[in-house]
Chain A
Amino acid sequence: MTHRSAASRTVRVDQLARVEGEGALHVEVVDGEVTDVRLRIFEPPRFFEGFLVGRAHTEPPDITARICGICPVAYQMSACRAVEDACGVRVGGTLADLRRLLYCGEWIESHTLHVSMLHAPDFMGVPSAIELAEIDRPTVERALRLKKAGNLVLETIGGRAIHPVNVRVGGFHRLPRPEELSSLVPVLREALEDARAVARWVAGFRFPDVEMDYRFVVGDDPGHYPVFGDGFVIDGPGGSSPTKLPCAAFAEEVVETHVEHSTALHAHLRSGDGYLVGPLARYAMASERLHPQAREVAGGIGLEPVVRNPFRSIMVRAVEVVHAVATALDVLDALVDQVGTGPAALEVPAPGDGSPPVVGHGITEAPRGLLYHRYRIEPGGTIAEATIVPPTSQNQPTIEHDLWHVAEDMLAARGDALSDDDLRHRCEVAIRNHDPCISCATHFLDLTVERRPGP
C-alpha cells in the first residue's frame, strides 16, 4: 500500500524476502525527518528456554539444534560447552578439532547461502537468486556447489539429518572413519577455488558509502580466528583497548531489556551502548588470525583492516568462507591419522545427589555472531534454568541504528524526490547486511515506511 504525497506517505511490504525468518520493520518519516525506526521481532527462543527446564543435562544439544535450521551446529556447540563448563569437563584434542571442522561446515553452508543466494541479488539488481540464475547460471551453480561442500562436512561429521544427530555432550556418538574424512579433501579443495572466486566476485559490487561507529563483541578463541569462546572480548570505545572477560561475565556485561514493539529482548552493553556481533566484529578484532589463504584473499580484494561499512559485510563473509574451507582442510590434514585412537566422547557427569547445583556458560561464534548459552543444573542432571542469547537479538538495536542512518542519508540526499520503493529497498538491504537469522528469533518481516507531515 502506498500513499503518495511529498511529505505524507506510508509504504508497506508484507513480507521481507531473503532473510532467514520473519519480522517487521517500521520506519516513520515526519516532515522529511526520520522520527522512528522499529525492527520488530516476534519469536525469541523463550519457548526453548522453558522447554529445556526439567530435561536431562544431556539433552540441550539435540533440543536447541531445533531452534535454527540454518545454524544448528552453533546451538549444539554453545549448548555442549555450557553443559561441559557446568560439569567441569573440558573437551580438547581430536574431539575439539572435529568440532571445529563441523563448525567450518556450517559457516561454509550458511555464509554461502547468504552471500550468493540472499544478499548478492541486492547488488546485482535482481529480485532473487532465481533471476540471478537466469542471467548468470554458473555463479549460482558455483554457490550451490560450495554450499554443498559445507553440507557434506556437516553430514560426514554431524550425521545425515536435518539437524546433526551425531553431536552429544562430551563429544560425538560416533567418530568418523579416516576414509570418510579423506573423502572430504578433494571436495574441499574444489570448494577453496570456488570460495576464492566468490570473494573476487562480490568485491566487484558497488557499495553505498556508509561508515558506522560500531562497538564489536566477539568470542575469545586463543590462537584462532574466533569460533569457540573461552571468554569474550568487548571492543574499547573510541579506539581504546578491548576488554577480555570470562564467559561467566556475559550476563553481567550484556543487559537484555524488553522493548515495547517487540516480544524479543534487546541486548545492550552495561554502559547502555548497542554493539555488533558477527563477521564484521570477528574480522575487526581478529583478522590477523585468519587462515593465511583467507588473509591473502582479503588483501587481494582490497578489504580494509576494520570494515565499518555494513554493506561491505558481504565481502567479509566471503573471506570467512575461504577461511572456513582452508581451516577445514588443515584440520582434516591433522586429523586423518589420529581419528579412531581415542574415545568418541568424554564422560560429562552431572553433580551427584547432595551436591549443590552447578552453572555453566557457553559461547561460540555462530555464522551470524556470538551465541551464548547458560544452564543451571541440579544434582542428578536436571536442568533448572536455561538462558539463550542469539546473535540476532544482540544485533537488533544496532540494525535499527543502521536503518536510521541509512534512511536519513537517503532523505538528506534526495528529499521528497526519494521514492518509497528506493527507500524501502535500501532499508531491506541494510537489514540483509547483517544476515539476521530471524528464524532463531522470529516470523514474518513486514516492512512499513510511514511518512507524515509535521505538526
Chain B
Amino acid sequence: MTALPAGDTRGVDRPLVLGVGNRFRGDDGVGPAVLDALAGRPAAVAVADLRELDGEPTRLLDAWDGRRRVVVVDAVRSGTATPDGGAGRLVVLAGAEAVDPERVARWRAGVSGHSAGLAEAIRLATVLGRLPDELCIVGVEVAGVDEGPGLSPAVAAAVGAAADEVCRLAGAGEAGPGEGPGGQLAGHYAAGGADVPG
C-alpha cells in the first residue's frame, strides 16, 4: 500500500465514502448529491471521510489506496428504468458481489463521460492488489443524464435513503458499526438489484 501524502489527516481506519458522478449531467450527479446529504449529518461526518470523484478508474484506485473500508455511491443505468418507474431504486452490493466486476459491469454505462468506470477500477485494482479490504457499492438507478445541473424528482427523492444506506455501511447509521457490509441488509438489496445486468 502506498503511504498517504505527508500532512494527510485521513486515517486508514476511517471509512471513505466516494460520491462518483458529474453534477452537470442530470441524475449522474446523484453520487455527489448523496455526499452533500451526508455532509449535513454530524454522525456521518464524525466517522467517515467524504470525497467526490468523476469515476475515472485510476482516480478511484488512488482515492481508496490504503483504506480498509470504502463505500462508493454511484449512478446506475440498468436499462430497466422507464420514464414511469425504476428511477431512484437503490442497488446495494457488498462482500464478494461488490468486487465482482461482472456484477458492476454495466454501472455508469451510458452515464459517465468515460467509457471506463467502476468495473474497470475493480478489475485493475484486483490485478494490482489494490482493492480495499471491504468495498461496498450503493447504486441509484437514474432516469436521465442530459447536460445540466439538477436531479430528476424520483432520483432526488432517493438521496435520503441512499445516504441512510451509506451511513449503515460506513458504520455511521442507527444500526451502528456492528452491522457493516455483507450483512442481511446488503443481501436483501443485492437480491433486489438483480435487475442490473451483470
Interface contact B124-A129, CB-CB below 8 Å? yes
Q: A69 contacts B54, CB within 8 Å?
A: yes
Is the C-beta of B78 less than 8 angstroms from some C-beta in chain A?
Answer: no
Q: Does any Cβ of B come within 8 Å of A27's Cβ?
A: no
For A19-54 the 0/1 string (1 means CB < 8 A from B) is: 111100000000000000000000100011001000
Q: Are B24 and A21 in contact (CB under 8 A)?
A: no
Return chain A residues, CB-CB under 8 Å to B62.
144, 147-148, 151
Asked whether B85 is an interface residue with its Cβ less than 8 Å from the other chain, the reply is no
**With A66-B23, A117-B58, A147-B58 as contacts: A162 and B115 at CB distance below 8 Å:** no
Q: Mark A425-451, 1 if CB is under 8 A from B, else 0.
A: 000000000000011000111000000
Given A19-B115, A133-B127, A144-B62, A66-B24 contact (CB < 8 Å)? yes
Binds B, one of A10-18, A87-95, A395-403: A10-18
The size bracket of the interface on A is 35 or more
Q: Is A22 touching B113 in the complex (CB atoms < 8 A)?
A: yes
Tell me which residues from 49 to 81 in chain A have a Cβ below 8 Å from any Cβ of chain B.
Answer: 51, 66, 68-70
Query: How many Å lie between the Cα of A16 and that of B124 in the bound state?
Result: 19
Contact B61 A445 (CB under 8 A): no
Interface residue ranges of B17-66 to A (CB < 8 Å): 22-24, 52-54, 56, 58-59, 61-62
Query: Separation in Å of the B112 CB from the closest CB of chain A?
Result: 8
Residue of A21, A113, A130, A152 touching B5 (CB-CB under 8 A): A152
B1 in the interface (beta carbon within 8 A): no
- The distance in angstroms between the C-alpha atoms of A66 and B61, with both chains bound, is 21
Considering the chains assembled together, what is the distance between the CA atoms of A443 and B110 in angstroms?
A: 8
B116 within 8 A of A: yes
A134-142, A211-219, A329-337 - the one binding chain B: A134-142
* Closest Cβ–Cβ distance, residue B106 to chain A (whole Å): 12
Contacts of A48 in B (CB 8 A): 24, 147
- The answer to whether A16 touches B22, judged by C-beta atoms less than 8 angstroms apart, is no
Verify B56–A144 contact, CB threshold 8 A: no
A413 within 8 A of B: no
Residues B61 and A144 in contact, CB atoms below 8 Å apart:
yes
Please determine whether A51 and B115 come into contact, CB atoms closer than 8 angstroms.
no
Inter-subunit contact B58/A183 (CB<8 Å): no
Decide if B114 is an interface residue (CB 8 Å cutoff).
Answer: yes
Which size bracket describes the interface of B in this complex? 20 to 34
Task: Assess whether A417 is interfacial by the CB under 8 Å rule.
Answer: no
Whether the Cβ atoms of A130 and B115 lie closer than 8 Å is: no
With A133-B127, A162-B52, A162-B53 known to touch, is A18 a contact of B115 (CB < 8 Å)?
Answer: yes
Contact B115 A17 (CB under 8 A): yes
A145 to B53 alpha-carbon distance, docked (Å): 19
A128, CB-defined interface residue at 8 Å = yes
The answer to the question of A1 belonging to the interface, with a C-beta cut-off of 8 Å to chain B, is: no
B107-123 at interface with A (beta carbon < 8 Å): 110, 113-116, 120, 123
CA distance A77 to B61 in the complex (A): 27
A117 to B57, CA, bound (A): 10
8 Å CB interface, A213-255 against B: none
In the complex, what residue of chain A is closest to B59 when comparing beta carbons?
A151
Q: State in angstroms the CA–CA spacing of A147 and B61 once bound together.
A: 12
Contact A183 B114 (CB under 8 A): no
Tell me whether B52 and A20 are in contact (CB under 8 A): no
Residues of A close to B183: CB separation below 8 A: none
Contacts A17-B115, A18-B115, A19-B115 given; does A130 touch B58 at CB 8 Å: no
- Say yes or no: is B197 at the interface (Cβ < 8 Å to chain A): no
CB proximity of A35 to chain B, nearest CB, Å: 28
C-alpha gap A443/B145 in the complex (Å): 11
Q: How far is the CA of A48 from the CA of B24 in the complex (A)?
A: 9
Nearest-Cβ distance from residue A442 to partner chain B, whole angstroms: 9
Contacts of A443 in B (CB 8 A): 113
In whole angstroms, what is the CA distance A134 to B126 when docked? 10
Point out the residues of chain A lying under 8 angstroms from B123, CB to CB.
130
Taken together as a complex, chains A and B put the C-alpha atoms of A152 and B7 apart, in Å, by 13
Contact B54 A47 (CB under 8 A): no
Complex Cα distance, B159 from A16, in Å, reads 32
Q: A66-B22, A152-B5 known; A133 and B147 CB under 8 Å?
A: no
CB distance from B134 to the nearest CB of A (A): 22
Query: Beta-carbon contacts of B150-169 to A below 8 Å, as 1s and 0s?
Result: 00000000000000000000
The answer to whether A43 touches B147, judged by C-beta atoms less than 8 angstroms apart, is yes
Which residues of B sit under 8 angstroms from A15, Cβ to Cβ? 115
Given A133-B128, A144-B61, A144-B62, the answer on whether A444 and B6 have CB atoms closer than 8 Å is: no
Judging by beta carbons under 8 Å apart, are B115 and A444 in contact?
yes
Partner of A70, one of B5, B6, B56, B148: B56
In the bound complex, do residue A69 and residue B113 qualify as a contact, i.e. CB atoms below 8 Å apart? Answer: yes
Contacting pair B148 A141 (CB below 8 A):
no
Mark out the residues of chain B between 49 and 96 whose CB falls within 8 Å of any chain A CB in the assembled complex: 52-54, 56, 58-59, 61-62
Contact A444 B56 (CB under 8 A): no
- Is there an interface contact between A69 and B61, defined as CB atoms closer than 8 Å? no
Task: List 7 tightest A-B contacts by C-beta distance, closest first.
Answer: A439-B113, A69-B54, A47-B147, A133-B127, A66-B24, A130-B123, A162-B52
Given contacts A15-B115, A144-B62, A162-B54, 20 further A-B contacts (CB under 8 A): A18-B116, A19-B115, A20-B114, A21-B115, A22-B115, A47-B148, A48-B24, A48-B147, A66-B22, A69-B54, A113-B58, A130-B124, A133-B127, A137-B128, A144-B128, A147-B62, A148-B62, A151-B62, A439-B113, A443-B113
Binding site for A on B (CB under 8 A): 2, 5-7, 22-24, 52-54, 56, 58-59, 61-62, 110, 113-116, 120, 123-124, 127-128, 147-148
16 contacts between A and B (CB under 8 A): A15-B115, A18-B115, A19-B115, A22-B113, A69-B56, A128-B120, A130-B123, A133-B124, A141-B128, A144-B58, A148-B2, A151-B59, A183-B5, A438-B113, A439-B113, A444-B115
